[in-house]
């Protein structure tokens, strides 16, 4: 549902409810009936707030999913662990930053891969690589600078684009992404032109070679889970609720005293930090970064991944990334490699037409129909 439809629904609901309020004998409208609220079994617990959050929101399926993710690399080949598992987690983390902006903030940004690329280029330029332009700083300092520069870049993108909506936000962020692509392509002093930086590998820490498939998979899994639970927590925090209110009706939130621009820029900062983390992992995964890593096709691919999974669920980007990586890896064995964009474009078109909420929305629709059919066929009423 678009922001305009949400605003229309909210305004009509408010008007309709005001007109239906019953009047008392004194002429005053009767108070609205109280909505029953389920008691919180953990309200009186002395446990920390984050632990009570886990108790409320972690269910059996989450535990089973976690066990599956932990067992997965031990039952498949190293190729599948690295090429499918690790790549899915890293691309899902980039798409998660877009889901936070678009799904909960109403701001569709095409510059998220650009933010990840800026962080990746920072790692390659300040750290070690096979190119003489790299400065060779220690990896810990390089990672801090990469995250900081990526976050600041996202704030700049947000500051320039939050005053627009809809297609204009998409066009401004796309223009910034294309501008950075040509900057990296044509600048040989800092970005090394079209050759980029080769042999950018993760460091060896605690005697663990994080370049190995198993180690890199668990490194990606740790940051993907951290990003997922952070977004789950954030959208239920006061900031996340205010951000969703701004998405639905910015004028009303502004009238209530919320600084709409500041909230939107803050959302860009948070999403930029997530994208920067993914950018560091992505350059370590590929072992290189070139202008092709931040080209227009990848700017669009991140949007496709987020829409495939579903933009209203933090788990959606990872599901979309899994479908994208599977098609990217195995579809070329069935059809011609040049036809991959046709396959992923057809899947994207089918999802948009038949399930605007992505694969998760399609699953919810099908499970609801099966549940209703089972209730009808059951003899027990």
Report yes or no on 22 lying in a domain: no
Nearest to 91 by CA among 372, 273, 302: 302
50-70 residue pLDDT tens: 677 677 777 777 788 888 888
pLDDT at residue 148 in the model: 93
Question: Is pLDDT at 252 greater than 70 in this prediction?
Answer: yes
Report yes or no on 375 lying in a domain: no
| Structure token digits, residue 64 | 């089973």
Spatial separation of the C-alpha atoms in residues 341 and 296, rounded to whole Å: 13
Mean pLDDT, rounded, for 235-255: 87
Mean pLDDT, rounded, for 340-352: 76
Q: Where are the alpha helices (DSSP H) in the chain?
A: 3-19, 49-57, 60-75, 78-79, 87-105, 112-126, 139-161, 167-186, 213-234, 238-248, 250-255, 260-286, 296-309, 316-334, 340-354, 358-377
Report yes or no on 103 lying in a domain: yes
Q: What is the mean pLDDT of the chain?
A: 80
Report yes or no on 311 lying in a domain: no
Spatial separation of the C-alpha atoms in residues 184 and 114, rounded to whole Å: 11
Report yes or no on 373 lying in a domain: no
Task: Enumerate residues 6+ apart whose C-beta is below 8 A from 112.
Answer: 94, 95, 97, 98, 101, 271, 275, 299, 302
270-301 residue pLDDT tens: 999 999 999 999 999 988 888 888 888 888 88
Question: Is pLDDT at 9 greater than 80 in this prediction?
Answer: no
Mean pLDDT, rounded, for 324-335: 77
pTM across the whole model: 0.79
Report yes or no on 45 lying in a domain: no
Mean pLDDT, rounded, for 167-186: 89
User: 145 near 82, Cβ under 8 Å?
Assistant: no
Phi-psi region of 27 (alpha: psi -120 to 50; beta: other; left: phi over 0): left
Number of structural domains found in the chain: 1
Q: Which domain holds residue 288?
A: 76-295
Report yes or no on 308 lying in a domain: no
Number of C-beta neighbours around residue 165 at 10 A? 15
Report yes or no on 141 lying in a domain: yes
| Structure token digits, residue 53 | 């959050």
Percent of the chain whose pLDDT exceeds 70:
82
CA 269 to chain centre: 13
The confidence band for 147, taking pLDDT boundaries of 50, 70 and 90, is very high
């Amino acid at each position: 549902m678009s922001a305009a439809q949400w605003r229309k629904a909210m305004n009509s609901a408010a008007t309709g409810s005001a007109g239906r309020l019953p009047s008392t004998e004194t002429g005053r409208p009767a108070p609205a009936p109280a909505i029953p609220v389920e008691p919180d079994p953990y309200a009186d617990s002395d446990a920390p707030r984050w632990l009570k959050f886990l108790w409320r929101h972690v269910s059996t399926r989450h535990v089973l999913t976690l066990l599956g993710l932990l067992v997965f690399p031990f039952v498949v080949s190293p190729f599948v662990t690295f090429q499918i598992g690790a790549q899915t987690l890293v691309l899902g983390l980039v798409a998660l930053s877009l889901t936070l902006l678009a799904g909960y903030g109403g701001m569709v940004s095409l510059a998220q891969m650009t933010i990840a690329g800026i962080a990746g280029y920072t790692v390659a330029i300040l750290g070690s690589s096979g190119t003489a332009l790299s400065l060779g700083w220690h990896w810990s300092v390089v990672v801090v600078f990469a995250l900081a520069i990526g976050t600041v870049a996202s704030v700049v993108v947000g500051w320039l684009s939050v005053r627009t909506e809809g297609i204009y936000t998409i066009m401004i962020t796309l223009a910034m992404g294309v501008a950075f692509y040509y900057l990296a392509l044509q600048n040989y002093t800092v970005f090394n032109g079209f050759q980029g930086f080769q042999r950018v590998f993760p460091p060896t820490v605690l005697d663990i070679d994080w370049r190995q498939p198993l180690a890199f998979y668990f490194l990606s899994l740790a940051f993907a889970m951290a990003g997922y639970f952070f977004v789950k927590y954030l959208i239920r925090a006061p900031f996340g609720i205010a951000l969703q209110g701004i998405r639905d009706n910015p004028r009303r939130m502004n009238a209530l005293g919320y600084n709409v621009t500041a909230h939107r820029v803050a959302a860009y900062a948070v999403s930029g930090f997530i994208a920067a983390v993914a950018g560091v992992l992505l350059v370590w995964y590929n072992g290189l970064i070139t202008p092709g890593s931040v080209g227009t096709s990848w700017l669009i691919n991140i949007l496709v991944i987020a829409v495939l999974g579903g933009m209203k669920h933090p788990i959606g980007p990872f599901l979309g990334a899994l479908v994208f990586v599977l098609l990217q890896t195995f579809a070329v064995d069935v059809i011609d490699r040049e036809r991959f964009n046709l396959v992923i474009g057809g899947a994207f078109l089918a999802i948009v037409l038949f399930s605007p909420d992505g694969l998760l929305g399609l699953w919810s629709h099908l499970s609801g129909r099966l549940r209703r059919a089972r209730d009808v066929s059951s003899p027990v009423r």
